Structure 1
Amino acid sequence: MSAPQQASEGSRAVKRTIEFIRHHRLQKGDRLPSERELSDRFGVTRSSVREALAVLDALRLTERRPKSGIFLRNALEDSGLDSLVIQANLDLPFDERTMRDVSEARVIFETHAIRLACARRTDADLNRLRELVANYSSRVQAELNVANEDVEFHLAMAAASQNAIIVRTLTPLFLMSFQWRQKYFSSPVVRRRSLADHQEFVATIADRDETRAAALVQKHVHSAFDEVRAMAEGNEQPESHNQWEGREE
């Protein structure tokens, strides 16, 4: 088996194991089937199952107990952000509660980050943000997807807070959203509106206007969450932020 095939089979084994845990609602301390049983069930080699379990062990989801078997160390809902990033990369959908929690966490961390950015930003930070917005604008005008550029801008905005832990906390929250972010930014309406928000973000940071900056973060993130939820339900994306106008932040 070639290396790419083995890697693909290993990823499939990780995905199928997580799906098995979800489907059977396994909780901390529950026993998983043996390597051989998982191999037969998933139609992959035992080495691929072993590779998958090594990944889950590293994420502190599973553990091997000598002469006892494979057990769930932590329930999926208690796992760390790295586990959620892997689930997203495997294209495993999150339930609405998880998506809501991600949205709330982003608001909490980005609101504090932008307040700090207003107080601590340097001229170099502003130049970097303006450079990113200019590139963003060029891609919007060229009708190109800006999913990656959006992440880069938000992390640069967080970096202007001069707090590396905030940036490291926000990074997996953005990585979790990779799959839906590509689809979300396929809309020209979303791209243009997002560009306008980014331009306003830079203006508020330049003016050191913490109150306006914090309100914009909440409006920006909440609106994106509503639109992503609409996409998941098969509805059309809202084309304005009107539903958030007048809302208490």
Structure 2
Amino acid sequence: MLTAVSTETSDAVRKTLEYVRHHRLAKGDRLPSERNLSDRFGVTRSSVREALAVLDAMRITERKAKSGIFLRNTPDEGGLDALVLQADLGVTFDAQLTRDAIEARIICEEQAFRLACQRRTEADLAKLHGLLDTYAALAANGRNMADEDVEFHLAVAAASQNRILVRTITPLMLMSTRGRRRYFESAALRQRSLDDHRAFFAAIEARDEAAATALVHSHVHTAAADIWALNEAAAVAQDAGAPDKQT
């Protein structure tokens, strides 16, 4: 999401969000000035300015003429795009928000897969079959399938013929991009995911709504648990290897 801005600007966005959380700022609270933030974060004022423009666009901050920079919404109150932004920056979500995201994804995908069973066309099946072939080839060659995983799920959502469902599911998928990339580093998990996606295809092809929705529930919960465990292990390893910090 932040591919169009510099690394320093991305860093400034992340540090601003961390500042808001650390100081427990509430909606309407005033943030420090650009100069102050620049000094705190060790980045240029232009990077802070660009970072605030990103946060303004996400409706997290707002500037008031001759008054300063204010918190428009807390990071957790923003829209789904704001959560994707935070995930892209490596901001860790708390357990409750993670559970909420999983629950919302299951609700949306169960409906999308049910509708896909009812409404899928031969063109939809052909696209899904092609994506499965790509998926299998990547798995066989030990390649990471994170992007293809998203593409497959969104293709199923598209087969529901409901564009709003596609737009809702997209950010819910993208929120776990970093964890999904780590997940697909495992050969065993790549194979299990491929098996699940083949089962998805078979259920949609057979118009078996009960099988499709049951698969969604088990697939999302199991994958989320694996990603959570992998993230926790990575965090422990990082802490163990990090030098002591001054407080």
TM-score with structure 2 length normalisation? Answer: 0.90
> Secondary structure of 1:78's match?
coil
State the partner residue of 2:241. none
The answer for the alignment partner of 1:8 in structure 2 is 7
Q: Quote how far apart the aligned CAs of 1:172 are.
A: 1.1
1:25-40 equivalences under 5 Å are 25-40=24-39
Could you tell me how far 1:67 is from its partner in structure 2?
2.0
Note the alpha carbon deviations across 1:56-102, whole angstroms, 9 max, x for none: 11111111122221110111111111111111111112222222111
Counterpart in 2 of 1:57?
56
Equivalent residue for 2:98? 99
- 1:121·1:160 contact (CA, 8 Å) conserved in 2? yes
What's 2:139 paired with?
140
Q: Runs of 4+ in structure 1 displaced over 3 angstroms?
A: none
Contact 1:106-1:170 at 8 Å conserved across structures: yes
Question: Structure 1: how far apart are the matches of 2:64 and 2:150?
Answer: 40
Query: How far apart are residue 27 of structure 1 and its match?
Result: 1.0
Q: Is the 8 A contact 1:100 1:225 kept in 2?
A: no
Q: 1:227, CA displacement in angstroms?
A: 1.1
Q: Counterparts of 1:14-93 in structure 2 under 5 Å? A: 14-93=13-92
Query: What is the rounded CA distance, in whole Å, between the counterparts of 1:206 and 1:26 in structure 2?
Result: 50
CA apart distance, 1:234: 2.1
Mapped to 1, the partners of 2:35 and 2:144 lie a distance apart of 44
Partner of 1:188: 187
What residue identity is the alignment partner of 1:136? Y
**2-structure distance, mates of 1:230, 1:133:** 26
Question: How far does residue 47 in structure 1 lie from its aligned partner after superposition?
Answer: 1.4
Partner of 1:200: 199
Residue by residue over 1:152-178, the C-alpha shift from the partner in whole angstroms, topping out at 9 and shown as x without a partner, is 111111110001111111111122111
SS of 1:70's equivalent in the other structure is strand
**Count of matched residue pairs:** 231
One-letter identity of the residue aligned with 1:152: E
Q: How far off its partner does 1:232 sit? A: 2.7
CA distance in 2, matches of 1:46, 1:127: 51
- Number of the residue aligned with 1:239: none
AA of the residue aligned to 1:191? R
Matched AA of 1:35: E
1:174-199: CA deviations, max 9, x gaps?
Answer: 22111111101111111111111111
Shift of 1:128: 0.7
Q: Which residue of structure 2 aligns with residue 241 of structure 1?
A: none
Deviation of 1:126 after TM superposition, in Å, equals 0.6
The answer to whether the 8 A contact 2:109-2:157 is kept is yes
Question: What does the per-residue CA deviation read over 1:193-241, in whole Å, with 9 as the maximum and x for residues that have no partner?
Answer: 1111111111111111101110000000011111122223329xxxxxx
CA deviation after TM superposition for structure 1 residue 36, in Å: 1.0
Alpha-carbon RMSD across the aligned residues, in angstroms, is 1.4
Q: Which amino acid aligns with 2:21?
A: R
Amino acid at match of 2:176: S
Unmatched tracts of structure 2, length 5 or more: 235-247
Assess if the C-alpha contact under 8 Å between 1:35 and 1:46 holds in 2.
yes
Report percent identity of matched pairs: 59
**Structure 2 SS opposite 1:233:** helix
User: Does structure 2 conserve the Cα–Cα contact (< 8 Å) formed by 1:201 and 1:213?
Assistant: yes
Retained in 2: the 8 A contact 1:155–1:167?
yes
Equivalence for 1:131: 130
Structure 1, unpaired ranges of 5+: 236-249
1:159 match: 158
- 1:62 and 1:130 map into 2 onto residues whose CA distance is 44
Structure-1 separation of matches of 2:205 and 2:88: 35
Q: Distance in 1 between matches of 2:166 and 2:207?
A: 20
> TM-score, with normalisation over the residues of structure 1?
0.89
Structure 2: distance between partners of 1:8 and 1:215 = 42
Residues 182 and 227 in structure 2, CA contact (< 8 A), matched pair in contact too: no
Q: Which residue is 1:214 aligned to? A: 213
